[in-house]
Structure 1
């Protein structure tokens, strides 16, 4: 049996002693299917570069009942609530790749210039794929702000390769950590992990529920819809949410991506199931990871909202540099 270099804890209903898994879920497809996708499917042509209209200049703090989210790009965003500045899956690197000269390259600059970030209190890293866990950015953040990093089990080992003195709290599904009156809980999502060819699913992946005095936030970095199982379970556990932050991109072709990335119609169904007042769509428009055109996630989200008779203002796809002051529930 392969050795897990990241985590060595006890077995559970989602860890077999070596690898994590999705209970009653679908395993990611293998190398043969990857070759079939890459050599048997055509990808839409994305622009090489898009102009960022204007980088955002976030406030130093957001207090009281206010809740503000600023999109940096792809899955990276700044959540400001209850006097905390929370960065999620921060990636300022040019490529989402282990290589500096190859791999998915950003087509638009980060929506916030790094030097214009407010003091960062907490960083959430949802899983270890390169478009979510960027060691160069995490090292830079630790040097600039020394934030608390919350991440699922095993990812702390990876992060310490770049930031050995980082303040990191690894969390299993269902475990929580409090920061100044705000509670962060790692919760299940249907995904997988890998940094290379031999470490598949050896570090955990997670969604996060953030419970604040201004309301609950549900954030998923990546997920397959999984029949809505996780949405239903968390709606039963928590009741409702002021904001859900849901992935809407990187979903084609469906035969390959269905288990790991939901499409916009599934995101709208998840939004309905989780009892959220508002939602933000992310995971699109920055790195071309899959086959769909760059504008397809936004277009398909609009179609899905119309079909579900949900006002488009309630579920907003945020592009780089865009800011959303979330209405009070």
Structure 2
């Protein structure tokens, strides 16, 4: 290798290492939330009493050492669809637009609700490295209708995109609702992000006939190397004139307790939005991400009439191929005798009107 190229690579490696060290040092000292101790908060860290702790750094190194077996993704996999949503959807109608990965626009009851919006090129703390999107957001940013409310489920970079939040605040001034501690991250980045933070089972009224309740999931969160679980994560039960929507951001399946709990406490559900991607290898991912067969079981557990798949096809985060989640979902639905139209898979830019 020429010395100039070797020097460039060494310089980039040093920059990445220094940046990671800085993020880790700041996160170690950071305190994202001060509040009373509970069954899922010990005064510093959050945990799921029915979940599992995040994998260790040793396990992470073991996974990365084996990633030669990871399925290759294309550099670019554009969707043939582009959505330009209406300004409002009123009454009991429900319109869902799939932006891509975990980003979804819900329109119902005259309200526009954007969930986990990511318009950035990378799901990463770095602008030059990390998972890079392989298709454009399904809604061009300038084509968004007026956004009333943004729901951010947790702090992982493929869900909490600070640059996108700043763009949304500048353009729309939405109300931002998130679990405890994530508001600190948002305000430190941009004081104009007037985030409101809530605990599991807190109910927040958005408008007449529209409300959201934050609900427990089997997951975890972090922004750096040393801040694991200093903020909370959550799913959302969204009450609308079109029925109740159960939105699961990231979650392992475990024994299914969280999905049965949601049904018993907050059902019945018209629609469940369930993740189907980022699940291989199972020894590493099963505690935090469902595979498609588990997503089908989660649908049965929560009892929703309909389901929409998300968390697939835009960012390569784990080892399965880009087409594996929808293919494996179709197989799992067939095995469970669930018709395809009950558990839908959309491409970025496609919309589903219910």
TM-score by shorter chain over 0.5: yes
1:233 aligns with 2:261: yes
Specify the alignment match of 2:78 in structure 1.
Answer: 51
SS in structure 1 at match of 2:259: helix
1:279 aligns with 2:279: no
Over 2 Å off, 4+ runs:
none
The C-alpha deviation readout for 1:215-271, integer Å capped at 9, x for no partner, is: 000001100012110111111112311110000000000000000000001100111
Specify the alignment match of 1:103 in structure 2.
Answer: 130
- Residues in 2 aligned to 1:173 and 1:32: alpha-carbon distance in whole angstroms: 31
1:201 aligns with 2:226: no
2:247–2:272 contact (8 Å) kept in structure 1: yes
1:4–1:18 contact (8 Å) kept in structure 2: no
TM-score for the superposition, normalised by structure 1: 0.97
Specify the alignment match of 1:19 in structure 2.
Answer: 45
Q: Structure 1 or 2: larger helix share? A: 2
SS in structure 2 at match of 1:143: helix
Deviation at 1:153, TM superposition (A): 0.1
Which of 206, 223, 239 does residue 251 from structure 2 map onto? 223
Specify the alignment match of 1:155 in structure 2.
Answer: 182
TM-score for the superposition, normalised by structure 2: 0.90
- Residues in 2 aligned to 1:57 and 1:35: alpha-carbon distance in whole angstroms: 42
1:165 aligns with 2:192: yes
SS in structure 2 at match of 1:69: strand
Specify the alignment match of 2:289 in structure 1.
Answer: 261
SS in structure 2 at match of 1:160: helix
1:70 aligns with 2:100: no
Specify the alignment match of 1:188 in structure 2.
Answer: 216
SS in structure 2 at match of 1:312: coil
SS in structure 2 at match of 1:267: helix
2:165–2:193 contact (8 Å) kept in structure 1: no
Unaligned runs of 5+ in 1: none
Which of 107, 115, 136 does residue 142 from structure 2 map onto? 115
Deviation at 1:128, TM superposition (A): 0.3
- Residues in 1 aligned to 2:286 and 2:163: alpha-carbon distance in whole angstroms: 30
- Residues in 2 aligned to 1:303 and 1:62: alpha-carbon distance in whole angstroms: 34
Unaligned runs of 5+ in 2: 1-27
- Residues in 1 aligned to 2:349 and 2:251: alpha-carbon distance in whole angstroms: 24
SS in structure 1 at match of 2:55: coil
Task: Name which one, 1 or 2, has greater alpha-carbon Rg.
Answer: 2
- Residues in 1 aligned to 2:267 and 2:183: alpha-carbon distance in whole angstroms: 31
- Residues in 1 aligned to 2:159 and 2:292: alpha-carbon distance in whole angstroms: 20
Deviation at 1:165, TM superposition (A): 2.5
Could you say what the CA RMSD is over the residues aligned between the two structures, in angstroms?
A: 1.0
Structure 1 residues 52-61 or 206-215, which shifts more? 52-61
Which of 162, 167, 171 does residue 144 from structure 1 map onto? 171
Structure 1 residues 217-226 or 161-170, which shifts more? 161-170
Specify the alignment match of 2:329 in structure 1.
Answer: 301
1:172–1:186 contact (8 Å) kept in structure 2: yes
1:231–1:270 contact (8 Å) kept in structure 2: yes
1:288 aligns with 2:316: yes
Specify the alignment match of 2:153 in structure 1.
Answer: 126
SS in structure 2 at match of 1:161: helix
1:3–1:18 contact (8 Å) kept in structure 2: no
